[in-house]
Structure 1
Amino acid sequence: MAYEINEQKKVGLGLIGFGIFFSLLGVILFFDRGLLALGNIFWLTGVALLLGWGATWRLFTNPANYKGSISFLLGLFFIFVRWPIVGIIFEIYGCIVLFGGFWPSVKVFLCQIPIVGWIISYLF
């Protein structure tokens, strides 16, 4: 296996999954501020556990990623001050800018999963 998954990374993946679930549930329930905030907290903690605290700090404070970091944190601020639609737009843009370099690695990882890999190799 190309990636070693220990217990901390399993918990991180679970928290990222819960974060995505609560964020989607918050969007479905007409941008519920509490669910969106809870989803963000789970997602950020999961990313920190998955990548490691130092790597997460370097990711957000890297000068090349300032635009994405500021956009994501501004979106989080807008969610907390009750502008959830604007906040989600800023957060989505920030995630795309911050994690744009990870997409090739994610594709390699997903191609190793039996059914998902067949679909991805068929589409791309």
Structure 2
Amino acid sequence: MIEISDTQKIGVGLAGFGMTFLFLGVLLLFDKGLLAIGNILFISGLSCIIGLQRTFFFFFQRHKVKASVAFFGGIVIVLLGWPMIGMVAEIYGFLLLFRGFLPAAVNFLRMVPVLGSLLNLPVIRGIVDRITGDNGRNMV
């Protein structure tokens, strides 16, 4: 079994709270305070989970510069007071950053009982496959 340090446990909690605040910020019509807190908690949680050096190297690899600029630019735009434009930039950067991980995550979610049934509906399946860049080659 993999050993998880206390710092990583705290990081999972911070990232979870960050995602919760981001969700609530979008749900409450792009409340910039909740979105800003969610962004800060998510980034600090990610740093605690994988470490500061690996986080820095993840975001600032040569082939991920465009994605990182979009993601962090979106955070700055949210902090400046334009939450809808900032969230669009963040989502674009997030999709570019985690492009390699998304097909595996979607395939895992398709195995979850209720969520898998929804993700396998014809219209939703086409949209999700287009977003992840997965055209059925990873299905078992």
For the aligned pair, the TM-score class normalised by the smaller chain equals 0.7 to 0.9
Partners of 1:59 and 1:118 lie apart in 2 by: 29
Q: Which has the bigger relative contact order, CA under 8 A and spacing at least 6? A: 1
Which structure's residues are more often helix, by fraction? Answer: 1
Query: 1:44 corresponds to which letter in structure 2?
Result: I
1:1-124 to 2 correspondence within 5 Å?
A: 1=1, 3-103=2-102, 106=105, 119=113
1:16 Cα offset (Å): 0.8
Q: Deviations over 1:34-58 (max 9, x none)?
A: 1100000000000111111100000
Alignment length, in residue pairs?
A: 118
CA 69–105 in structure 1, closer or farther in 2 if over 3 Å, else same:
same
1:7 Cα offset (Å): 1.6
TM-score after normalising by structure 2: 0.73
Of the two, which has the highest radius of gyration?
2
CA RMSD of aligned residues (A): 2.4
Q: Deviations over 1:33-90 (max 9, x none)?
A: 1110000000000011111110000011111110110001110111011110010011
TM-score after normalising by structure 1: 0.81
Query: What is the aligned-residue identity percentage?
Result: 37
CA 94–9 in structure 1, closer or farther in 2 if over 3 Å, else same:
same
Q: Show structure 1 runs of 5+ residues with no match.
A: none
Query: 1:64 corresponds to which letter in structure 2?
Result: H
1:4 Cα offset (Å): 3.5
SS at 1:5 equivalent: coil
